Amino acid sequence: MNKGILSSAIEAIGNTPLVELSRLGRGCEGRILAKLEHLNPGFSKKDRIARQIIADAEATGALAPGQTVVELTSGNTGTGLAIVCGVKRYPFVAVMSRGNSMERARMMRALGAEVVLVDQLPTSASGQVSGDDLEAVEERAQRIVEERRAFRADQFRLQGNSRAHYLHTGPEIICQTGGAIDAFVDFVGSGGSFAGCAAAFKESDPQIQCFIAEPAGAAVLAGETVTHPNHRIQGGGYSMAALSLLNPAHIDGYVQIADAEAIEMARRLAAEEGIFAGFSAGANVAAAATLLDGPWRGKTVVVLVCDAGLKYLSTDLWE
């Protein structure tokens, strides 16, 4: 086959560009480098873990040809799995809270997935998925796995999640920068991106400092009490104190981001840098700016642009 032609969209996953946010960073000492993960085929970094989890399960025999795949998702992992399963012809069921934006459910359906929506708890605010909401989604996902004898592509437990970032995202950043980065900060959901990138960075240079970003008022990993579980930063901050993929030895510190800061930064990313991304990308850039504002002044901080702004057109992120 011609070298310029890929055999499927799965091969178009990864190798995303790294952009210096020099317009946003104007006036601040130091550099923020943003890895444009929203340019993946499913418009998020989660395409990478979908490819890895399915490849690992095929390699170990955990996934049989034609077997159904099930996953709990806030939309992005589901979209990645819908792409990978669609191309590889595995039926895929995405189980998602109604609190996530509906663009995601529509996109997964368009990609051939069956989408099961789970109602939010009466105490949860619409559009703000809490840890309790996620528990209800988890229960439903487990039931469907049993009923259909399905393979659970469990992003919270399977090593394929962090391995995707250890094998690809992290090394791509090291290659793109020649290893010249000082810090990495990442808004955590499953912890897979942080765990994989941090492992790759520390292996390359133990001096690279790795920070976890959490919503202000839901910073359980930093040991804070939860006062604001219904934060606005979709894709993470689930108030889960135990994330099995995280290696505590790779965590150098914590940054907290308020909803308004994440939202303002997502809007500025679009308006000033031409990067149309979601809430968590805004949180990541805001966290990087916080680091540069403090003891990291003058340094180079790298962040992921987790997903695309198109996924939030029905929310008030865009007016």
Ligand X SMILES: Cc1ncc(COP(=O)(O)O)c(C=O)c1O
Q: Among all residues, which ones are annotated catalytic? A: 46, 280
∠ CA 27-38-45, rounded to 5°:
110
| Backbone torsion region of residue 44, taken as left when φ is above 0, otherwise alpha when ψ lies between -120 and 50, otherwise beta | beta
Q: Residue 86 or residue 236: which is nearer to ligand X going by CB? A: 236
Residue nearest to ligand X (CB): 235
Encoded tokens for 41? 């085929």
Shortest distance, position 117 Cβ to ligand X, whole Å: 17
Give the helix/strand (H/E) hosting 70.
strand 69-72
Question: Given the complex with ligand X, which of 30 and 235 has the nearer CB atom?
Answer: 235
Euclidean distance between CA atoms 24 and 288, whole angstroms = 11
CB of 74 to ligand X, least distance (A): 5
Q: What is the nearest approach in angstroms of ligand X to the Cβ of residue 299?
A: 23
Residue with Cβ nearer ligand X (46 or 88): 46
- Other C-beta atoms lying within 10 Å of the C-beta of residue 28: 15
d(C-alpha 172, C-alpha 179), whole Å = 10
Residues lying near ligand X in the complex (CB under 6 A) = 44, 46, 74, 76-77, 187-194, 235-236, 278, 280, 306-307
Between 30 and 231, whose beta carbon lies closer to ligand X? Answer: 231
In 89-211, where does DSSP find H-type helix?
102-110, 131-148, 159-164, 170-177, 192-204
Nearer Cβ to ligand X, position 214 or 273? 214
**Contact by Cβ (8 Å): 178, 152:** no
Nearest distance from C-beta of residue 306 to ligand X, angstroms? 4
C-alpha distances in Å from residue 278, one per residue of 76, 146, 150, 282, 311: 11, 34, 31, 7, 7
